[in-house]
């Protein structure tokens, strides 16, 4: 028997751990919440005390975003040209 005082809602899960974007919360019937980052596509299912990831982040998009910050001048020259 765990104490009912430990409310998982105290734990804020509002920003994406991958890119820091705001996460959208979609409430399902039965108390589940689907958390989704529009930015990288990662998604989590949150039900009371547990949370699990249901969708991986789009790593290519994360990398592209990071590259934009890091190396502004470097163009993707390696793309195949017809």
What is the closest distance, in whole angstroms, from the C-beta atom of residue 40 to Zn ion in the complex?
Answer: 3
Element (H, E) at 59: helix 59-70
Residue ranges in 2-61 that form contacts with Zn ion under rule CB under 5 A: 16, 18-19, 21, 37, 39-40, 42
CA distance 54 to 32: 13
Contact (Cβ atoms closer than 8 angstroms) between residue 38 and residue 32? no
Nearer to Zn ion, 35 or 40 (CB): 40
Which residue lies nearer to Zn ion by CB, 49 or 67? 67
> Mapping DSSP to helix (H, G, I), strand (E, B) and coil, where does residue 8 land?
helix
Binding region for Zn ion (CB under 5 A):
16, 18-19, 21, 37, 39-40, 42
């Amino acid at each position: 028997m765990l104490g009912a005082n430990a409310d998982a809602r105290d734990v804020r899960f509002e920003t994406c751990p991958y890119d820091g974007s705001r996460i959208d919360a979609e409430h399902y019937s039965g108390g589940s919440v689907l958390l989704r980052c529009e930015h990288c596509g990662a998604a989590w299912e949150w039900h009371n005390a547990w949370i699990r990831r249901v969708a991986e982040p789009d790593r290519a998009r994360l990398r592209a975003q990071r590259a934009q910050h890091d190396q502004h001048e470097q163009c993707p020259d390696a793309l195949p040209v017809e």
